[in-house]
Structure 1
Amino acid sequence: MDVIARSGDTLHYYSQLFDLPLILVQDANRGIGDGPLLPGQLVKIPGFKVGTRTMNRETSLNVVAEELKLPVDALFLVNQEESLPLRGGGGTLVVPQRVQQRVVTVGVPYSYDILCHDLRKLWKTYPFLTLESAGTSVLKNELFHVKSGRGEKKVHINGSFHANEWITTAILMVFLNDYLLALTNHRAIRGVNMLALYESCLLSAVPMVDPDGVNLVVDGPPSEEPYRTLVTKLNKGNPTFKDWKANIRGVDLNNQLPARWEIEKARKPQAAAPRDYPGDYPLSEPEARAMARLAEEEDFDRVIALHTQGKEFYWGFEQEEPEEAEAIAQEFARVSGYKAVRYVDSYAGYKDWFIQTFRRPGFTIELGEGVNPLPLSQFQDIYDDTLGIFLASLYM
């Protein structure tokens, strides 16, 4: 919600007026100092939206303010003073409403278009978010990079490295939404103070690493050539792409990183395929290059890559993981019930490369259990199981 500042007001005053942490109001209004505001200056109030209220003879501004749990001055701020409905009169009152429900989409296959729609809604509601681009896909779809928080510790989470694992994006987006809701509503999640996490951590997320592949699985082949013809041929004419894991060029993005890549190259498909083909050389695909570049530029302290399925997670690589990774893995297992697996016969993945390159903790979390793509009927169970991992990744 945006308000028009009055002369002499400050961001500190608005944080008190709307009962919001000052740090969130400041971050929502980057570039505005803490001194007196200029009249007419536009100020963003995170976690609020604008509604209306029809006034009648029995209703006063004090009654409305009490219902909203806000000072009367908040009503004066969002209305033109000369047009405020008077007690005993009628008219329509503009009212600020605290957002208390999720705004992201749930219950449907999660496509790239839905992601774009939901990210716009999140940013509009919570403008202290930073929304950037980590790069683009083969089809020039943005790899959106979401950041929130002020802390020195940088924690990165990503989803949908594999196309038919799109449910990981939906799970991650719901966690982001719940985290933001808790921040602006003074709520804890499972007893964990979200504002303390905001102040101590910077949360980084790329919710959908393979947007072209996800759209292929969810919506079918693209209109662009030669990719429409290519995927149809690789899929052997099958109009259903539910088993497709790769990007739109038939390269498995989680077999693309230079971490013993040659092992995967020797034993996996030798040409483009719906799954497992590691490419002609490491980082041949723009999506993989973007994710590697992001880690190098942002200097993450740890990364979590969301995949499906198995109800387990992998946290080691060639004995190159740091000592602190074991304690984090133990906490992940405790809060989720997932099995902690140190080593697995797999190479060239994102967490493998991160551990090898930075000697910092990296984790691959296999959400849920069954056959990919996992059905949406599992969504709530997966979220309940893994919510603790999301939180622990920030507080550990």
Structure 2
Amino acid sequence: MEVRVRTGDTLWHYSQLFFIPLVLIIDSNPNINPNVLQNGQAVQIPGFTEDSYVIRQGDTIWKLAQRRNLNIDVLLLLNQDLNPSKLQVGQKIRLPSRVTKLIVNGKQAYDFQKMKTDLDTLGSIYPFMRRGEVGKSVLNQPLYNVEIGKSSRKVQINASFHANEWITTPILMQFLNEYLLALTNERTIKGVSALTTYLRSKLTAIPMVNPDGVNLVVNGPPAGRIDELIKLNKGSEDFSGWKANIRGVDLNKQFPANWEFEKERKPKEPGPRDFPGYKPLSEPETKAMADIAIKENYERLLALHTQGKEIYWGYEGLEPPESEVLANDFASISGYKAIRYVDSYAGYKDWFIQDFRKPGFTIELGLGHNPLPITQFDEIYTHVSGIFVRALM
């Protein structure tokens, strides 16, 4: 929600008026000098939307403020041309509305467009949330990254490397929404102060690594590529089991961490799953994910997959001692099983551990056959959302 600066206003005053932590207002306005506000300057107030209200018989500015549990100065700030002693029936004024409920509805088929729409809405309500792109997919869809936090200590959580594991995206999106909501309402999240977490770590979320593949599984093949994709899918028009990107490359078998070993024992040509490509990092999605990890120097990395209710945390003995501590904490929080080694290579967390010697985790959400039914959403979220908070601590 936007307000206009009056003579004598400060961001601290807005923080007190709206009960929003000052740091969130400052971070919502990166182009403003918080110590030198200009009269008439636009300031974004996070955690609020606004309504248009039509004055009725008997309304007064004091009654309207009391009805919404607001300081009168909030209404005067939003309606600077208003004469509070001369309200007129039929007159329209602006009223603020604190956002107290989730925006994201993850319990539905969740494709790239739904994610983008939710990110657009969250970005407008919570402008301290930063959104950028780490790269593009084969079909030129952006791989969005979302940043929440003040610290130089960075933690990456990603989802939907595999197309038929798309439920991981709305799980992560709901967590982002819950975290943002807790910040602007000064709540805890999973028993931890959201603001303390915000100041301690910067969360980088990449909620859909494989947008082309997710759209294929959720919506079917795009026009112009139907015959090509049916051929890659062994003649089947059922794409529900498709894991790969749109070119038939398994994105989580693309990283230079014993890639040659996977190449020898996996499919030798593109298809719906497990083909590691003709060389490491051949796909734009994997190249983007490698580049961002090198650039950002994350302290920890979590890759969300399905299924198995397991947490993989080791790679070739290269993981630091902290990994075992975190894995045991994650297991205790979620009820999932922590497993150090698994017979799989060339994954994103494998490469991250190998190249950075920092804690990396593959977390297999839920249990059953991929794609997991959306009816598991609430159970999965209950089990794993606490892991995300622990990863930021």
TM-score, with normalisation over the residues of structure 2?
0.97
More displaced 10-residue stretch of structure 1: 106-115 or 315-324 = 106-115
Answer with 350-359 or 236-245: which moved more. 236-245
Tell me: CA distance 1:268–1:4, structure 2 relative to 1, closer, same or farther (3 Å). same
Q: Superposed, which structure 2 residues align to 1:322-341 within 5 Å?
A: 322-341=320-339
Residue in structure 1 matched with residue 388 of structure 2 by the alignment: 390
Contact 1:315 1:364 in 2 (8 A): yes
Q: Distance in 2 between matches of 1:42 and 1:221?
A: 45
Matched residue SS, 2:217 = helix
Task: Indicate whether 1:118 and 2:152 are aligned.
Answer: no
Structure 1 residues without counterparts, runs of 5 or longer: none
Secondary structure of the structure 2 residue equivalent to 1:303? strand
Deviation at 1:89, TM superposition (A): 4.7
Alignment pair present for 1:166 and 2:177: no
Letter in 2 for 1:245: K
Cα deviation for residue 228 of structure 1 reads 3.5
* Equivalent residue number for residue 38 of structure 1: 38
Secondary structure of the equivalent of 1:81? coil
Residue of structure 2 equivalent to 1:129:
129
The one-letter code of the counterpart of 1:286 is: P
CA contact (8 A) 1:12 1:22 kept: yes
| Displacement after TM superposition at 1:64 (Å) | 2.1
1:218 and 2:218 correspond: yes
Q: Are the aligned partners of 2:156 and 2:205 in contact in 1 as well (CA < 8 Å)?
A: yes
Amino acid at match of 2:123: W
Deviation at 1:153, TM superposition (A): 1.7
Give the letter for the 1:126 counterpart.
Y
Give a deviation string over 1:228-247, Cα, whole Å, max 9, x none. Answer: 33211112332221000000
Higher alpha-carbon deviation: 58-67 or 243-252: 58-67
Q: Which amino acid aligns with 1:261?
A: W
Deviates more, 1:31-40 or 1:239-248: 31-40
The corresponding residue for 1:240 is: 238
1:49 aligns to 2:77 (yes or no)? no
Alignment correspondent of 1:263:
261
Give 1:15's aligned residue: 15
Corresponding residue number in structure 2 for 1:311: 309
For each residue in 1:284-305, what CA deviation from the matched residue of structure 2 results, as whole angstroms up to 9, or x when unmatched?
A: 0000000000000010001000
Q: Which residue of 2 aligns with 1:147?
A: 147
Whole-Å Cα distance in 1 between the matches of residues 130 and 88 of structure 2?
Answer: 45
1:369 aligned to 362, 367, 370, which one?
367
Deviation sequence 1:34-54 (CA, Å, 0-9, x none): 224212211111010001333
* CA-CA distance at 1:113 after TM superposition: 0.7
Q: Does the aligned pair in 2 maintain the 1:182–1:194 contact within 8 Å?
A: yes
Deviation for aligned residue 1:320: 0.4
CA contact (8 A) 1:311 1:338 kept: yes
1:140-194 C-alpha deviation (Å, 9 max, x unpaired)? 0000011010113211000000000110000000000000000001111221100
AA partner of residue 162 (structure 1): H
The alignment partner of 1:82 has SS state of coil
105-114 or 304-313: which moved more?
105-114
**SS of the residue 2:82 aligns to:** helix
Instruction: Kindly report the root-mean-square deviation, in angstroms, between the aligned alpha carbons of the 2 structures.
Output: 1.4
Greater alpha carbon shift after TM alignment, 2-11 vs 54-63: 54-63
Say yes or no: does 1:301 pair with 2:303.
no
- Equivalent residues of 2:60, 2:84 under 8 A apart: no
Q: Tell me how far apart the structure 1 counterparts of residues 265 and 106 of structure 2 sit (CA, whole Å).
A: 38
1:346 counterpart = 2:344: yes
8 A Cα contact 1:55 1:85, kept in partner:
no
Q: Is the 8 A contact 2:106 2:173 kept in 1?
A: no
Aligned equivalents of 2:159 and 2:135: distance in 1?
15
Cα distance in 1 for partners of 2:317, 2:85 equals 70
| CA-CA distance at 1:77 after TM superposition | 1.2
Identity %: 53
Total equivalences in the alignment: 393
The whole-number CA distance in structure 2 between the counterparts of 1:105 and 1:142 is 21
Hey, what does 2:207 align to over in structure 1? 207
Q: Distance in 2 between matches of 1:344 and 1:291?
A: 22
State the SS of the aligned residue for 1:281.
coil
Counterparts of 1:154-193 in structure 2 under 5 Å? 154-193=154-193
1:304–1:363 Cα contact (<8 Å) kept: yes
- When structure 1 is superposed on structure 2, of 147-156 and 359-368 the one drifting more is 147-156
Q: Using the alignment, how far apart are the partners of 1:73 and 1:23 within structure 2?
A: 21
**Is residue 109 from structure 1 mapped to residue 127 from structure 2 by the alignment?**
no
Instruction: Work out the CA distance in 2 between the residues paired with 1:156 and 1:228.
Output: 34
Query: Partners in 2 of 1:359 and 1:228 — Cα distance?
Result: 42
1:330-363 CA-to-partner distances (Å, cap 9, x unmatched) read 1101110000001000000000000000000000
Q: Which amino acid aligns with 1:236?
A: K
